[in-house]
Amino acid sequence: MATSRPSASTTPTTTAPWCPAPRTRTPSSSALAGLARPAPRTEFQTAYNDQLANIFDVTDNALIDAPSVEHGPRRTRRAGVDPTLDTVVLINWYGRPDLRFHVYTKTGEPDPDTGFDFGASLDTRKLVAWGGTANADEETGRGGGQPQARLWFFDLSAGPESWAGSFNVDDADLDGDGAADYRLPPAWEYAEAGIARRRS
């Protein structure tokens, strides 16, 4: 696009990268950076870049293993997480100088008939949220002897992706039924510039 856009990492924010509760000690975003692996942009990040009203372009991408993030707060006992309780964690990497555009993956569960690993191969299976894995899950469960409590996370700074329509910020109607649809765009779309644009 011809218009220049600000860098995602230089836009200020007051939200911590892991936010389970106010005034709680929060892990550094280096926890996410250490898990991030460079990858090509997904088709939905590219589709977001093609929008006329997007705040800025997604310049690169990284993949982060979702189960590793799901189990991370339990292993480290950080962020005030009580592993005996069901927990929801909100993550926001946006606004920090080390932000990397990213999505999450859940791989290693190929289709039993074809052997095709949808999570590894398809952009439609890239995620911004994950969790609720049972201890007994044969691929990514925590095993026996652990409290049967579940953690689910949602990353406000991940994507854009397909599931919540976050890649499309131009069209009110996402599915062609003539009615405006709700979508969950990435955190930077809620920044002051994005809000002002939608009010104009």
| C-beta separation of 161 from 137 below 8 A | no
| Domain range annotation of the chain | 24-168+182-199
In the prediction, which pLDDT does 36 show? 93
Q: In what order do the strands lie in the sheet with 129-131?
A: 87-91, 151-155, 129-131
First to last CA, the chain: 21
Walk along the chain (200 residues) and give the pLDDT tens digit of each residue: 334 444 454 433 333 343 333 333 334 567 888 899 999 999 999 999 999 989 889 999 999 999 888 877 655 555 566 767 788 888 999 988 888 999 999 988 889 899 998 889 889 999 999 988 877 776 766 666 666 667 889 999 999 999 888 999 999 998 899 999 988 889 999 876 655 555 55
Task: Give the dihedral sign, CA 157/100/124/110.
Answer: negative
| C-beta separation of 79 from 24 below 8 A | yes
Residue type, 69: V
What pTM did the predictor assign? 0.77
**Ordered DSSP codes for 78-140:** -TT--TTS-EEEEE--TTSTT----EEE--S---TTT---HHHH-GGG-BSEEE---TT-TTT
